[in-house]
Structure 1
Amino acid sequence: MKELLAGSVEDSGSTHIVAVDARVAREASKSPTLGFSADFVTAGPVGADVIRPGDTLSLTIWENVDDGLLTNQGLNATGLSELQVDDEGFIFVPYAGRIRATGNTPDALRLAITDKLKDQTPDPQVLVARAAGDGATVSVLGNTGAQGVFPIERPTRTLSAMLARAGGVAVDPETAQITVTRHGRTGSVWLKDLYSNPRMDIALRGGDVILVEKDTRTFTALGATGAQTRIDFDTPNLTALEAIARVGGLNTNLADPKGVFILRDEPAPVAAAVLRKPGLQGSQRMAYVLDLTQPDGIFNARDFVIRDGDTIYVTEAPYVQWQKTLSVLTGTASSANAISSVAGGG
């Protein structure tokens, strides 16, 4: 512990040593939470029948004459399939010309086509059907049951519905993170928050990219703990007490419960609040110290939230260090005695 304390700012070092109390635990646990911005949240569901560039339409036109403009001899109906809406939002219909389709529902487009044809053929009847195309699809990537491009249809106009359409998530729901990219803007949410907070179940837009991935955050445990290794997070919020438990707790034969350190580079706003030093610039090296022998030490450890990249270091108890020193001295004396015995025997 002395070596760590020697590197403190007070001793001309570069690390701020901070004893954790209730206030420090509260301030140091503030971190950006996942969620979608207002632009995502306030966007209402799109009309599933609104036509967009890239959509594919099919038309059926009935004419009330035996020899119509579009129909073959002996037929009174003709079908025009796979009419793709161009980038400018138009389609071409024989004898009706270029007609704007974008922004219309199939029924509104039907009326527009009928109006164009009625002066050329008596009482035309038009049916418009829309199949979702490039303009009304989203891409689903990552750890899902099925990756691919899926159309936005009436049952799949929201994020949760589209995830279900893609076969659900293929990772532990506790650590699944959902990211949506739209027109260069990105928002992320934990899967469990998506289902617990209806506001996070955002309406989708054509061109959205949905990425499902496992939580990649880790922390490192060193010193007198049950394990010295790098550990993956298994929950969106992990406290110091839970992190210590994850690595097998403190080594009862070695650990000093007064010397549990959490080491991190703290952003300037958080460091300023913890240290009560407004105006700090740049990230600050922080060593938070938990004393688990104090009455509220366990509570503070329970309230202190671990962040990605943290290092938990548990120091050795003073008597352990003394035992090591004594062992070295005893070992040296034993070796000297052994050499003397050999020399005397020779």
Structure 2
Amino acid sequence: MKSVGLVFVAMLLAGCSVVPGSGPSTASLSADDIENTVKQEDYFSFKLTPEVAQIVGRYVPTRFAEYFGIKGTEPRQQIGVGDMLTVNIWEADERGIFSTSYGKKTTIESVVDDSGRIFVPYAGRIRAAGRSVESVREAVQGALEGKAVQPQVQIVVSGNQTNSAVIVGDVGKPGKYPISIAGTTLLDLVAHAGGSRGKTFETVVTLKRGDRKASTNLQDLIDLPKNNVRLVKGDNVLLTVKPRSFTAFGAVKKTAIQQFPTETVTLAEALASVGGLNDETADASAVYLFRFEEPEVIAKLDPKARGKLGEYQVPVIYRLNLRDPKAWFVARYFLMRDKDMIYVANHPAAELGKFLRIIQPILTSARYGVLISDDLEN
């Protein structure tokens, strides 16, 4: 029996580290000397305190605006090949080459041809592509001086093909839309195209300008006006309805992928949606949230890391100790984000219970072996 006891103790000490589990243990994700932040090889780890929650919650993503915001004076629109121009000409006398006894105004419609020019009678071929409306107006009026009677010219872009943007995807009316001289924003274009087919907080807006591309949530264009950037010619916009979701693993009552039922979901609501923690196995002091954060957030959480961060998102683990009553208030207002992962580690006692269940057949066999041996000796 002593030998069986020694074997049992040895297995207990060595076997707990190989007990099957749904994820990493509390010890592998944190240590007693870690109070606030630690830089691991591949991720940052922070204790989810009210201060940390406030810093993360106050962060306003403006990278989209920085990518596509127009700095300085907004560029003037220029006429391009394919644009339809309406040329209105007035003369001071009804005996002019354009005026008649019925009126002194003549309207001519002309499309900018592939050589970038339009044709106006008696003015000839006028270069229009690459010029502003006022520049073309002055050129036409100057060409008519001495031919028409005190001509006055007006140029109207009636078909704007060059200064336009394309919007496709999950919108009511995808297509090519002209950009107003006064300026057209992303929300303007979405509205012209009939709006999104999905909920605003589930719609992702992707803007491609030249070789630059970035995405943001449609709701952010409303909540963060800075992200509602002005469009320039040639912009391509894609709207995609992507329901947001989070996943829950470990010692929870229901491991699942959960979609956001509303625009905002807190950490407390996320845990409740999967049935909460498993009372038999969960370590309430070891609730973890895995996500990717912007470098700006990490720099505020850990100023020492400011010089080591690049421009890409950084993997972060937030730890919440639900044995602390104050932590429940943090969980109540800490907002979840798309593709967040929640993991609840097993309690060490649960790991021991698993191990005992694994070795129970071995102990039973050993016990019967000892009993048989005793019977034989007797």
Structure 1: stretches of 5+ with no match in the other structure: 341-346
Pair 1:179-2:206 in alignment: yes
**1:24 corresponding residue in structure 2:** 52
| 2:132 counterpart (100, 103, 106) | 103
SS at the partner of 2:69? helix
SS at the partner of 1:135? coil
| 2:222 counterpart (183, 195, 203) | 195
Q: CA–CA distance in 2 between the matches of 1:127 and 1:17?
A: 65
Structure 2: stretches of 5+ with no match in the other structure: 1-22, 35-39, 371-378
Pair 1:300-2:330 in alignment: yes
TM superposition shift of 1:294:
0.6
Whether the aligned pair in 2 keeps the contact of 1:43 and 1:202 (CA below 8 Å) is no
Pair 1:226-2:248 in alignment: no
SS at the partner of 1:36? helix
CA RMSD of aligned residues (A): 4.8
Pair 1:40-2:69 in alignment: yes
| 2:118 counterpart (82, 91, 97) | 91
TM superposition shift of 1:59:
3.8
Q: Which amino acid aligns with 2:274?
A: V
| 2:288 counterpart (261, 267, 270) | 261
| 1:56 counterpart (84, 99, 106) | 84
Whether the aligned pair in 1 keeps the contact of 2:170 and 2:198 (CA below 8 Å) is yes
Q: CA–CA distance in 1 between the matches of 2:352 and 2:298?
A: 35
CA pair 18-69 structure 1, distance change in 2 beyond 3 A: closer
TM superposition shift of 1:224:
1.4
Superposed, which structure 2 residues align to 1:293-332 within 5 Å? 293-306=323-336, 310-331=340-361
Whether the aligned pair in 2 keeps the contact of 1:155 and 1:161 (CA below 8 Å) is no
Whether the aligned pair in 2 keeps the contact of 1:61 and 1:78 (CA below 8 Å) is yes
**2:191 corresponding residue in structure 1:** 164
**2:16 corresponding residue in structure 1:** none
TM-score by length of structure 1 reads 0.71
**2:319 corresponding residue in structure 1:** 289
CA pair 275-152 structure 1, distance change in 2 beyond 3 A: closer
Whether the aligned pair in 1 keeps the contact of 2:166 and 2:237 (CA below 8 Å) is yes
CA pair 275-123 structure 1, distance change in 2 beyond 3 A: closer
Whether the aligned pair in 1 keeps the contact of 2:133 and 2:156 (CA below 8 Å) is no
Q: CA–CA distance in 2 between the matches of 1:155 and 1:161?
A: 12
TM-score by length of structure 2 reads 0.66
Provide the aligned length of Structure 1 versus Structure 2.
Answer: 333
SS at the partner of 2:162? helix
| 2:159 counterpart (124, 129, 132) | 132
Deviates more, 1:260-269 or 1:331-340: 331-340
Q: CA–CA distance in 1 between the matches of 2:304 and 2:151?
A: 78
TM superposition shift of 1:56:
1.4
Q: CA–CA distance in 2 between the matches of 1:163 and 1:192?
A: 12
Identity %: 29
Whether the aligned pair in 2 keeps the contact of 1:19 and 1:290 (CA below 8 Å) is yes
